[in-house]
Amino acid sequence: MSAHSRLRITVGVLAAVAAVAAPWLVDAYGAALLARTLVLGLVAVSVTLLTGVAGLPTLGQTGPFAAAAYACALLGLHVSPAGSIGVVQLLAGATVGALFALLTSPLVVPARGVVLLMITLAIGELVTIAAGRWRPVTGGTDGLTVFAETRPVWGLPPLADDRARYLYALAVVAVVVGGLFLALRGPAGLLLRARRDDEQRLRASGHGAAGLVLAAFVAAGAIAGVAGSLLVTTQQYVSPAEFGFDVATLLLLGAVIGGTGSLGGAIVGTAVVLGARDWLSGILPGRAPLLLGLVFVGAAYAFARRGAEPGLPSLPLARPRGPRFARSRLWRRREPRTAS
């Protein structure tokens, strides 16, 4: 075992211990905040799956996240007002998120690069606006409050306080991220990374890109859907403000800070970004957006430059260039001209 992998295991074990112990180090409100961070971190994992691993930059993962959160809230309000079962909620969330991705797939699957960013942004924003306008079902901007208690599975006691809800979210996130990690170590991960690095070559070697991209979007939608169901369980409330444009960009920033295609990094990055935002609005009420904007600009520089340096992890879209053209700003990769 190399020193590097030993270090990685040590850091992983320490992080796991800290994550489990965290709710006892803070008060109930802090535990609720941590749970919320975890939930958004899971959405950022789905962003990383698309942006970092598959090379499909997205600003629209708030769409399946919101659709699943509302579906689970409605489920809790109208179907099982006495108390819902966590596993059922999670499955419902994953299904709705995957269905959302499937329904919007004709919009996103043919698009790449900056067009994809634009289309996903429009989709995410339209979902938020629809949630705000569709008052009879979503409660409009007032949101929906779901008081029903959740039992993780049949027979277990309900999640009574914020600490229990945090631990429940932690367990679910660990299972989902672990499963995704294992899946990405197999052929699926190889194919996705291959598509990111050179789609034309992937096609030339006989793999269909469209089906792969569709699968990536559906999987990411299901993960965001699980996060949506966790959001309802942990904070027992949903409103359109949870899914705005600013949240979508915060998630993208979290995923970028986390590093190329690193699933755990996405959660840590999101935690850092959310922490910075809350800290800034705490010390400088009113000026926080200005400073947060500067953080975004700084992060863009910090992570854009990295791509050019050899040996450092590159930004998902800063593709490795050939040595001949490495310094020429005029050169850019010739994209395939054919449609998919």
CB of 189 to another protein, least distance (A): 20
**Angle between the 86-108 and 162-185 helix axes, to the nearest 10 degrees?**
50
**Smallest separation, CB 172 to another protein (Å):** 28
Report the alpha-carbon distance of residue 124 to residue 62 in Å, rounded.
Answer: 6
Query: Six-digit token pair at 42?
Result: 């899971």
Q: How far apart are CA 98 and CA 237, in angstroms?
A: 22
E strand map for the chain: 84-85, 144-145, 150-151, 237-238
Distance CA 119, CA 117 (A): 6
Cβ–Cβ < 8 Å for 148, 72:
no
Comparing CB distances to another protein, the nearer of 6 and 332 is 332
Closest to another protein by CB, 211 vs 298, is 298
H helix count then E strand count, the chain: 13, 4
Q: Residue 281 has which token pair?
A: 């609005």
DSSP classification of residue 275? H
What residues line the site for another protein (CB under 8 A)? 51, 57, 59, 104, 106-107, 110-119, 121-123, 125-127, 129-130, 133-135, 199, 245-246, 249, 252-253, 256, 287-290, 292-301, 303-305, 307-308, 315-319, 329-333, 335-340
Nearer to another protein, 130 or 215 (CB): 130
Q: What type of residue sits at position 309?
A: E
The nearer residue to another protein, 11 or 326, going by C-beta atoms, is 326
Beta-carbon contacts of 170 under 8 Å, excluding residues fewer than 6 positions away, are 19, 20, 38
**Closer Cβ to another protein, 98 or 123, answer by number:** 123
Looking at beta carbons only, is 17 or 103 nearer to another protein?
103
CB of residue 282 to another protein, shortest distance in Å = 16
Q: Virtual CA dihedral for 264, 312, 329, 199, nearest 10 degrees? A: -50
Give residue for tokens 């598509």: 195
Residue with Cβ nearer another protein (57 or 97): 57
Q: What's the closest the beta carbon of residue 155 comes to another protein, in angstroms?
A: 41
Pairing of strands 150-151, 84-85: parallel
Nearest approach in angstroms of CB 261 to another protein is: 13
- The answer to whether the beta carbons of residues 243 and 76 sit under 8 Å apart is no
CA distances to 65, 169, 226, 247 from 251, in Å:
12, 18, 16, 6
The nearest distance, CB 231 to another protein, in angstroms, is 21
Residue 91 CB, shortest distance to another protein, in Å, is: 26
Q: Of the two residues 137 and 156, which places its CB atom closer to another protein in the complex?
A: 137
Tokens encoding 318: 């800063």
Least distance CB 99 / another protein (angstroms): 15
Least CB distance from residue 331 to another protein, whole Å? 8
Query: CB-wise, 112 or 163, nearer to another protein?
Result: 112
Task: Judge contact between 223 and 45, C-beta under 8 A.
Answer: yes
Residue 275 burial (CB count, 10 A) = 12
